[in-house]
Amino acid sequence: MLYASDLFRQLGRSHIAVEDNLAEIPDLVATILLHEIALRRRRNLNMGYQTRHAALNRVRGRIDVLYTASHQLLERGRVACHFQDMTLDNPRNRYVRCALERLTPIITKPSLAADCHVMAISLRREGINGGYPDNCERPSVRRFGRHDAADKPMVDAAQLAFELLMPTEDQGQHLLLEPSDNIYWMRRLFEKGIAGFDRVHLAKTTWRISAGKELKWALSDQSAGSAEIFPTMKSDIILEHKMAQQRIIIDTKFNAILTKGWHQDQSLCNSYIYQLYTCLRTQESKADPLSLNAVGLLLHPAVGYMLNEYVVTQGHKIHFATVDMAVDAKTITGISP
Protein backbone atom coordinates (compact mmCIF):
# COMPACT_ATOMS: atom_id res chain seq x y z
CA MET A 1 0.00 0.00 0.00
CA LEU A 2 2.84 2.36 0.77
CA TYR A 3 4.67 1.76 -2.49
CA ALA A 4 1.43 2.29 -4.39
CA SER A 5 0.98 5.65 -2.64
CA ASP A 6 -2.71 4.80 -2.29
CA LEU A 7 -2.60 4.36 1.44
CA PHE A 8 -5.91 5.50 2.73
CA ARG A 9 -8.66 4.14 0.51
CA GLN A 10 -10.55 2.27 3.24
CA LEU A 11 -13.97 0.99 4.11
CA GLY A 12 -14.17 2.04 7.77
CA ARG A 13 -12.63 1.66 11.18
CA SER A 14 -12.23 -1.68 12.92
CA HIS A 15 -9.90 -3.44 15.34
CA ILE A 16 -7.24 -5.08 13.20
CA ALA A 17 -3.72 -6.43 13.53
CA VAL A 18 -0.63 -4.67 12.22
CA GLU A 19 2.67 -5.79 10.70
CA ASP A 20 5.01 -7.22 13.31
CA ASN A 21 8.22 -5.88 11.72
CA LEU A 22 7.74 -2.43 13.31
CA ALA A 23 11.48 -1.72 13.44
CA GLU A 24 11.59 -1.66 9.64
CA ILE A 25 8.55 0.51 9.04
CA PRO A 26 10.19 3.91 9.85
CA ASP A 27 12.97 3.20 7.33
CA LEU A 28 10.48 2.13 4.69
CA VAL A 29 8.23 5.15 5.29
CA ALA A 30 11.23 7.51 5.27
CA THR A 31 12.45 6.12 1.93
CA ILE A 32 9.05 6.68 0.30
CA LEU A 33 8.51 10.08 1.93
CA LEU A 34 11.90 11.38 0.77
CA HIS A 35 11.17 10.10 -2.72
CA GLU A 36 7.77 11.82 -2.89
CA ILE A 37 9.11 15.11 -1.51
CA ALA A 38 11.92 15.09 -4.08
CA LEU A 39 9.37 14.57 -6.88
CA ARG A 40 7.23 17.48 -5.66
CA ARG A 41 10.18 19.85 -5.26
CA ARG A 42 11.13 19.37 -8.90
CA ARG A 43 7.92 21.22 -9.80
CA ASN A 44 7.96 23.40 -6.68
CA LEU A 45 5.87 22.81 -3.59
CA ASN A 46 2.38 24.28 -3.58
CA MET A 47 2.00 27.65 -1.92
CA GLY A 48 -0.93 28.75 0.20
CA TYR A 49 -2.47 31.89 1.62
CA GLN A 50 -1.55 33.08 5.10
CA THR A 51 -3.41 35.82 6.95
CA ARG A 52 -1.04 38.53 8.12
CA HIS A 53 -1.36 41.75 10.08
CA ALA A 54 1.18 44.50 9.50
CA ALA A 55 1.65 48.26 9.37
CA LEU A 56 2.26 49.21 5.74
CA ASN A 57 2.85 52.40 3.77
CA ARG A 58 -0.07 51.51 1.47
CA VAL A 59 -3.46 49.87 1.85
CA ARG A 60 -3.49 46.12 1.33
CA GLY A 61 -6.49 43.95 2.12
CA ARG A 62 -8.68 45.26 4.98
CA ILE A 63 -7.74 48.28 7.10
CA ASP A 64 -7.50 47.73 10.85
CA VAL A 65 -9.05 51.08 11.82
CA LEU A 66 -8.74 50.60 15.61
CA TYR A 67 -5.05 49.65 15.51
CA THR A 68 -4.27 52.41 13.00
CA ALA A 69 -5.94 55.09 15.11
CA SER A 70 -4.72 53.91 18.52
CA HIS A 71 -1.10 53.79 17.33
CA GLN A 72 -1.37 57.05 15.35
CA LEU A 73 -0.01 55.36 12.23
CA LEU A 74 -1.54 57.85 9.77
CA GLU A 75 0.62 60.64 11.20
CA ARG A 76 3.64 58.55 10.18
CA GLY A 77 2.26 57.73 6.73
CA ARG A 78 1.38 54.15 7.59
CA VAL A 79 -1.78 52.09 7.92
CA ALA A 80 -2.47 48.76 9.68
CA CYS A 81 -3.93 46.08 7.41
CA HIS A 82 -5.16 42.50 7.50
CA PHE A 83 -4.20 40.79 4.23
CA GLN A 84 -3.53 37.42 2.60
CA ASP A 85 0.05 36.60 1.65
CA MET A 86 1.32 33.73 -0.52
CA THR A 87 3.74 31.48 1.35
CA LEU A 88 5.23 27.99 1.37
CA ASP A 89 4.63 27.90 5.13
CA ASN A 90 1.15 26.40 4.75
CA PRO A 91 -0.35 23.59 6.90
CA ARG A 92 0.35 20.86 4.33
CA ASN A 93 4.04 21.67 3.88
CA ARG A 94 4.48 22.04 7.65
CA TYR A 95 2.80 18.65 8.13
CA VAL A 96 5.29 17.01 5.74
CA ARG A 97 8.29 18.69 7.38
CA CYS A 98 7.09 17.59 10.82
CA ALA A 99 6.79 14.03 9.50
CA LEU A 100 10.47 14.11 8.52
CA GLU A 101 11.41 15.38 11.97
CA ARG A 102 9.22 12.68 13.55
CA LEU A 103 11.04 9.92 11.62
CA THR A 104 14.63 11.13 11.97
CA PRO A 105 15.31 9.92 15.56
CA ILE A 106 13.71 6.46 15.07
CA ILE A 107 15.25 5.44 11.74
CA THR A 108 17.73 2.57 12.12
CA LYS A 109 19.87 3.38 9.08
CA PRO A 110 22.20 6.35 9.83
CA SER A 111 22.51 7.53 6.23
CA LEU A 112 18.72 7.54 5.81
CA ALA A 113 18.28 9.45 9.07
CA ALA A 114 20.81 12.00 7.84
CA ASP A 115 18.89 12.39 4.56
CA CYS A 116 15.67 13.06 6.49
CA HIS A 117 17.43 15.61 8.70
CA VAL A 118 18.95 17.41 5.71
CA MET A 119 15.59 17.48 3.90
CA ALA A 120 13.84 18.91 6.97
CA ILE A 121 16.50 21.64 7.28
CA SER A 122 16.17 22.40 3.56
CA LEU A 123 12.41 22.87 3.93
CA ARG A 124 12.97 25.21 6.87
CA ARG A 125 15.40 27.26 4.79
CA GLU A 126 12.68 27.61 2.17
CA GLY A 127 10.51 29.27 4.81
CA ILE A 128 8.49 26.32 6.11
CA ASN A 129 9.14 27.06 9.78
CA GLY A 130 5.72 26.76 11.41
CA GLY A 131 4.70 24.04 13.84
CA TYR A 132 2.47 21.02 13.44
CA PRO A 133 -0.95 22.05 12.01
CA ASP A 134 -3.55 22.69 14.70
CA ASN A 135 -7.06 21.25 14.77
CA CYS A 136 -8.44 24.04 12.60
CA GLU A 137 -5.73 23.66 9.95
CA ARG A 138 -5.58 19.86 9.83
CA PRO A 139 -8.66 19.30 7.58
CA SER A 140 -7.06 21.40 4.83
CA VAL A 141 -3.99 19.14 4.82
CA ARG A 142 -5.96 16.29 3.24
CA ARG A 143 -8.35 18.35 1.12
CA PHE A 144 -7.18 18.12 -2.48
CA GLY A 145 -8.32 19.87 -5.63
CA ARG A 146 -7.28 19.49 -9.24
CA HIS A 147 -4.42 21.95 -8.87
CA ASP A 148 -2.82 20.17 -5.89
CA ALA A 149 -3.68 16.49 -6.45
CA ALA A 150 0.04 15.76 -6.95
CA ASP A 151 0.54 16.41 -3.23
CA LYS A 152 -1.52 13.37 -2.21
CA PRO A 153 1.23 10.68 -2.35
CA MET A 154 3.53 12.91 -0.30
CA VAL A 155 0.83 13.65 2.29
CA ASP A 156 -0.20 9.97 2.48
CA ALA A 157 3.38 8.96 3.28
CA ALA A 158 3.61 11.76 5.86
CA GLN A 159 0.42 10.55 7.54
CA LEU A 160 1.79 7.04 7.81
CA ALA A 161 4.96 8.49 9.34
CA PHE A 162 2.89 9.70 12.28
CA GLU A 163 0.98 6.42 12.67
CA LEU A 164 3.78 3.93 11.82
CA LEU A 165 1.27 1.10 11.58
CA MET A 166 0.73 -1.03 8.47
CA PRO A 167 -2.68 -2.74 8.71
CA THR A 168 -3.21 -6.42 7.98
CA GLU A 169 -6.45 -8.31 7.28
CA ASP A 170 -6.44 -10.07 10.67
CA GLN A 171 -8.39 -9.11 13.79
CA GLY A 172 -6.28 -7.24 16.32
CA GLN A 173 -6.18 -4.57 19.01
CA HIS A 174 -5.42 -1.46 16.95
CA LEU A 175 -8.32 0.79 15.98
CA LEU A 176 -7.36 1.76 12.43
CA LEU A 177 -9.00 2.36 9.09
CA GLU A 178 -9.73 -1.02 7.51
CA PRO A 179 -8.21 -1.64 4.05
CA SER A 180 -10.61 -2.31 1.20
CA ASP A 181 -10.89 -5.90 -0.03
CA ASN A 182 -12.47 -4.97 -3.36
CA ILE A 183 -10.81 -7.26 -5.92
CA TYR A 184 -10.57 -4.56 -8.61
CA TRP A 185 -8.86 -2.17 -6.20
CA MET A 186 -6.49 -4.91 -5.02
CA ARG A 187 -5.45 -5.65 -8.63
CA ARG A 188 -4.74 -1.95 -9.17
CA LEU A 189 -2.96 -1.78 -5.80
CA PHE A 190 -0.60 -4.64 -6.76
CA GLU A 191 0.17 -3.03 -10.13
CA LYS A 192 0.77 0.40 -8.60
CA GLY A 193 2.76 -1.13 -5.74
CA ILE A 194 5.16 -2.85 -8.16
CA ALA A 195 5.56 0.38 -10.15
CA GLY A 196 6.23 2.35 -6.94
CA PHE A 197 8.72 -0.25 -5.74
CA ASP A 198 10.63 0.06 -9.03
CA ARG A 199 10.66 3.86 -8.85
CA VAL A 200 12.07 3.85 -5.33
CA HIS A 201 14.64 1.04 -5.55
CA LEU A 202 15.92 1.32 -9.13
CA ALA A 203 18.55 4.02 -9.68
CA LYS A 204 17.13 6.89 -11.73
CA THR A 205 20.50 7.38 -13.42
CA THR A 206 20.38 3.81 -14.76
CA TRP A 207 16.69 3.01 -15.27
CA ARG A 208 13.81 4.71 -17.05
CA ILE A 209 10.42 3.67 -15.63
CA SER A 210 7.00 4.08 -17.27
CA ALA A 211 3.66 2.92 -15.87
CA GLY A 212 0.36 2.69 -17.73
CA LYS A 213 1.88 3.68 -21.08
CA GLU A 214 -0.36 3.25 -24.11
CA LEU A 215 1.21 1.16 -26.85
CA LYS A 216 0.53 1.51 -30.58
CA TRP A 217 -0.62 -1.35 -32.77
CA ALA A 218 1.54 -1.94 -35.85
CA LEU A 219 -1.38 -1.43 -38.22
CA SER A 220 -0.70 -1.10 -41.94
CA ASP A 221 -4.33 -0.45 -42.86
CA GLN A 222 -7.78 -0.27 -41.26
CA SER A 223 -11.37 0.33 -42.23
CA ALA A 224 -13.12 3.63 -41.59
CA GLY A 225 -15.11 2.45 -38.57
CA SER A 226 -12.49 0.22 -36.93
CA ALA A 227 -10.81 3.06 -35.06
CA GLU A 228 -13.90 3.49 -32.86
CA ILE A 229 -14.18 -0.17 -31.84
CA PHE A 230 -10.61 -1.46 -31.97
CA PRO A 231 -9.22 -1.92 -28.41
CA THR A 232 -6.25 0.04 -27.13
CA MET A 233 -3.15 -1.71 -25.78
CA LYS A 234 -1.62 -0.49 -22.54
CA SER A 235 1.40 -1.74 -20.63
CA ASP A 236 1.46 -2.06 -16.85
CA ILE A 237 5.15 -1.19 -16.36
CA ILE A 238 8.06 -0.66 -18.76
CA LEU A 239 11.66 -0.61 -17.49
CA GLU A 240 14.53 0.52 -19.68
CA HIS A 241 18.16 0.06 -18.64
CA LYS A 242 20.01 3.00 -20.16
CA MET A 243 23.50 1.50 -20.17
CA ALA A 244 22.61 -2.08 -21.17
CA GLN A 245 20.06 -0.83 -23.73
CA GLN A 246 17.52 -3.37 -22.51
CA ARG A 247 13.74 -3.02 -22.23
CA ILE A 248 11.58 -5.04 -19.83
CA ILE A 249 7.79 -5.06 -20.19
CA ILE A 250 6.09 -6.15 -16.96
CA ASP A 251 2.50 -7.40 -16.97
CA THR A 252 1.12 -7.74 -13.42
CA LYS A 253 -1.68 -10.19 -12.60
CA PHE A 254 -3.50 -10.57 -9.31
CA ASN A 255 -4.24 -14.28 -9.22
CA ALA A 256 -2.41 -17.60 -8.93
CA ILE A 257 0.33 -17.99 -11.52
CA LEU A 258 -0.41 -21.71 -12.02
CA THR A 259 -3.77 -23.21 -12.95
CA LYS A 260 -4.94 -26.68 -13.91
CA GLY A 261 -4.18 -27.35 -17.57
CA TRP A 262 -5.82 -29.68 -20.10
CA HIS A 263 -3.11 -32.33 -19.89
CA GLN A 264 -1.16 -31.04 -16.88
CA ASP A 265 -1.81 -30.78 -13.17
CA GLN A 266 -0.29 -27.29 -13.18
CA SER A 267 0.09 -24.90 -16.09
CA LEU A 268 0.67 -21.25 -16.82
CA CYS A 269 -2.37 -19.36 -18.09
CA ASN A 270 -2.09 -19.45 -21.89
CA SER A 271 -4.17 -16.30 -22.43
CA TYR A 272 -1.71 -14.26 -20.32
CA ILE A 273 1.22 -15.63 -22.36
CA TYR A 274 -0.57 -14.77 -25.62
CA GLN A 275 -1.27 -11.27 -24.33
CA LEU A 276 2.37 -10.58 -23.35
CA TYR A 277 3.69 -12.22 -26.53
CA THR A 278 1.41 -10.00 -28.62
CA CYS A 279 2.61 -6.95 -26.73
CA LEU A 280 6.26 -7.80 -27.43
CA ARG A 281 5.81 -8.68 -31.10
CA THR A 282 3.58 -5.79 -32.11
CA GLN A 283 6.08 -3.27 -30.74
CA GLU A 284 8.98 -4.53 -32.87
CA SER A 285 10.35 -1.81 -35.10
CA LYS A 286 13.75 -1.22 -36.70
CA ALA A 287 13.37 2.43 -35.73
CA ASP A 288 13.26 1.34 -32.07
CA PRO A 289 16.22 -1.02 -31.43
CA LEU A 290 15.14 -1.79 -27.85
CA SER A 291 11.92 -3.32 -29.13
CA LEU A 292 13.68 -6.03 -31.14
CA ASN A 293 14.92 -7.97 -28.09
CA ALA A 294 12.61 -6.68 -25.35
CA VAL A 295 12.09 -8.94 -22.34
CA GLY A 296 8.64 -9.78 -21.00
CA LEU A 297 7.73 -10.52 -17.37
CA LEU A 298 4.45 -11.94 -16.09
CA LEU A 299 4.45 -11.06 -12.39
CA HIS A 300 1.94 -12.60 -9.96
CA PRO A 301 1.56 -12.44 -6.17
CA ALA A 302 2.01 -15.64 -4.18
CA VAL A 303 1.84 -16.76 -0.57
CA GLY A 304 4.54 -19.03 0.82
CA TYR A 305 6.38 -19.88 -2.39
CA MET A 306 8.48 -18.33 -5.15
CA LEU A 307 8.54 -19.12 -8.86
CA ASN A 308 10.95 -17.72 -11.44
CA GLU A 309 11.11 -19.44 -14.84
CA TYR A 310 11.59 -18.25 -18.41
CA VAL A 311 11.41 -19.22 -22.06
CA VAL A 312 12.96 -17.63 -25.16
CA THR A 313 10.88 -17.36 -28.31
CA GLN A 314 11.66 -15.47 -31.53
CA GLY A 315 14.32 -13.37 -29.86
CA HIS A 316 12.26 -12.42 -26.82
CA LYS A 317 12.88 -13.76 -23.31
CA ILE A 318 9.67 -14.17 -21.30
CA HIS A 319 9.87 -14.62 -17.51
CA PHE A 320 7.14 -16.03 -15.28
CA ALA A 321 7.70 -14.94 -11.67
CA THR A 322 5.97 -14.37 -8.34
CA VAL A 323 6.34 -12.09 -5.34
CA ASP A 324 5.83 -13.85 -2.00
CA MET A 325 3.43 -11.53 -0.18
CA ALA A 326 3.83 -13.48 3.08
CA VAL A 327 7.37 -12.21 3.71
CA ASP A 328 8.20 -8.82 5.19
CA ALA A 329 9.19 -5.73 3.23
CA LYS A 330 12.87 -6.05 4.16
CA THR A 331 13.07 -9.53 2.64
CA ILE A 332 11.41 -8.41 -0.60
CA THR A 333 13.75 -5.44 -0.86
CA GLY A 334 16.78 -7.67 -0.20
CA ILE A 335 15.97 -10.09 -3.03
CA SER A 336 15.11 -7.41 -5.59
CA PRO A 337 17.60 -6.93 -8.48
Specify the pTM. Answer: 0.62
- Residue 208's SS3 state is strand
Strand pairing category for 316-324 and 295-302: parallel
Query: 114 phi and psi, to 5 degrees?
Result: -65, -40
Q: Higher-confidence residue: 168 or 32?
A: 32
- The per-residue pLDDT for range 284-331, each reduced to its tens digit, is 999 999 999 999 999 999 988 889 999 999 999 999 999 998 887 777
- The per-residue pLDDT for range 89-127, each reduced to its tens digit, is 889 999 999 999 999 998 988 999 999 999 999 999 999
- The per-residue pLDDT for range 156-192, each reduced to its tens digit, is 888 888 877 655 666 666 555 566 677 888 888 899 8
How far is residue 36's CA from residue 281's CA, in Å, rounded to a whole number?
35
The domains found in the chain, sorted by start residue, are 10-47+89-179 (no CATH), 49-87 (no CATH), 183-221+230-335 (3.40.1350)
**Residue 327: its pLDDT value, please?**
82
Comparing C-alpha atoms, which of 2, 321, 320 is closest to residue 161? 2
Per-residue confidence band for 7, with pLDDT thresholds at 50, 70 and 90: very low
**Average pLDDT for residues 62-67, to the nearest whole number?**
94
**Residue 169: its pLDDT value, please?**
61
How far is residue 232's CA from residue 214's CA, in Å, rounded to a whole number?
7
- Residue 330's SS3 state is helix
Instruction: Confirm if 88 and 126 have CB atoms less than 8 A apart.
Output: yes
